[in-house]
Structure 1
Amino acid sequence: MALCEAEKTFVLHGVEENFRVDGREREDYRPIELETNIVSHAFGSARLRLANTDVLVAVKIEVDVPYPERPKEGKLEFFVDCSANATPDFEGRGGEDLAIEISNSLSAAYKSPEVFDLTKLCILKGHKCWKIFVDILLLECGGNLYDAVSIAVKAALWDTRIPLVKSVTVDGNNVDMEVSDELHDCQKLDVTAAPIMVTVCKIGEQCIVDPNVAEELCSVGAVVIAVSKDKFSTVLQIGSGSLHPQTLLECLQMGEKVAQRLSEALTETLSEINPNKNQDVGFLK
């Protein structure tokens, strides 16, 4: 997508007047639709549509061996796949750098034990643990990928069920474990503190959230802020522009405020979803 100077000026003036091209104010999000439990063979799944941005997340689990330096912890890994149908920019290997950048940002955001407690995934210290694979597929790109991905990941982890281990037997170097065969004999992951990412863009002299594609092209600089409760779990600068320290502070303040509002809306929405039934829920309209 390319914008002429007149179109960029139109976007800039709209942001200055706090009335963006789609009618939103600077701190408003576009309508969000969320579905959970939609991939039958996954342990948890979610699909999120943020206007024209479409993200699918599936969670898989397997038994693994803990890292030697962290014998009491399980493992959590993120994989991002940019579908060639999402945007022409992803044809060939065009989406690889973006996929790596998003997966690395998620790993950094979930690194702290205050955000996601990996000790809950330990089965037997130093021998067995659960390894969680979070597979993310970008189906369509309509701007603001980081925010959409973070919300979909949190919803998919909320939907995830960990099988209940009934017994563990140690015989020398051999470890045998018995997993319950009951479908509903499982435990949920605690995602209360799981981070929400908010992308804050600087356009002209103002900052906005949830930029669409046109606004991303007009941005002079942007940061992605991952907020867990009232703390920052990571801050990432994206794009080629730079930000003044005072502008960065304003971005952090706006990102924290918006993330809190977004997290509350997501928590309320997830609490209304029946985990045994596919549901499509919209919020933040």
Structure 2
Amino acid sequence: MTGTVTQDVVMSGAGRYILRSLGQADVLLDGRSVVWAARSAEELLWFLHAFPEGRYRHDILSQLWGLEDNTAAANRFRVALHRLRAALEWPDAVTEQGGRYRLHPELLEASDTYRLHQALRASRQSETLREREELLRQALASADGEYLPHLQGEWVEQARAQHRAAVVEGYLTLSELHCAARECPLAAQALVKAAQSDPLIGEDHHQRLMACLSMTRDRFAAIEHYRRYRHFLASEVGDTPMHDTELLAERIKAGERVCEHLPFTPQKT
């Protein structure tokens, strides 16, 4: 098979495909969005994408569509599977072994979440700080938005939480690398991204962000973040900030330097 191939696509027999699951979900075949004959075929694709290890038919029917594994449901599954393979123009797009159905590995490798997790794993194994930073940037470049925002269900919520945690890990690690290199604005930027991805990243990270903002912007930006965080805890969690966080806010209000590193001096433009 031949077709339009970009640098984002796995260079293989499945190299005609790009799977975008973060942000606005889309499946590209030869550079064009796949048109699904039925929603069930698209749902089946993304369900199997969320479970790379595969699922048995009765699990798919139950978890994806809330159906019992009877004759009518089995027929629905067969039709959806046929339409999925037909839409992707690839009979091996879904494989079956011992009753377990999986997306073809090369389809999984053509997805943004695969690139995200692969780059994160590589960054953990890297021996140099700059290489770790570059790998993290590559990973986070694929992480633009929530996982499959157009779908609902317990199965997608579980997968969404897993991918969100990976994105947050990436931003937090990136912020630590920038902080160690005294790259304060970049450290603050990465912390902001982590907090936007998951406001419940941990109060210690919000404290770090307050300190970063007080050094890279001003104390008013730091206190504004503290107030937003306090409002979020009250309205969404029914809790209040830790006493340490309140004390940190008071120190920043008083103009105290709260960062353990040398003061950041913005360069003149």
TM-score by length of 1: 0.22
Greater helix share, 1 or 2? 2
> TM-score scaled by structure 2?
0.23
Looking at CA atoms only, which structure, 1 or 2, has the larger radius of gyration? 2
Higher relative contact order, chain-length normalized (CA < 8 Å, sep 6+): 1
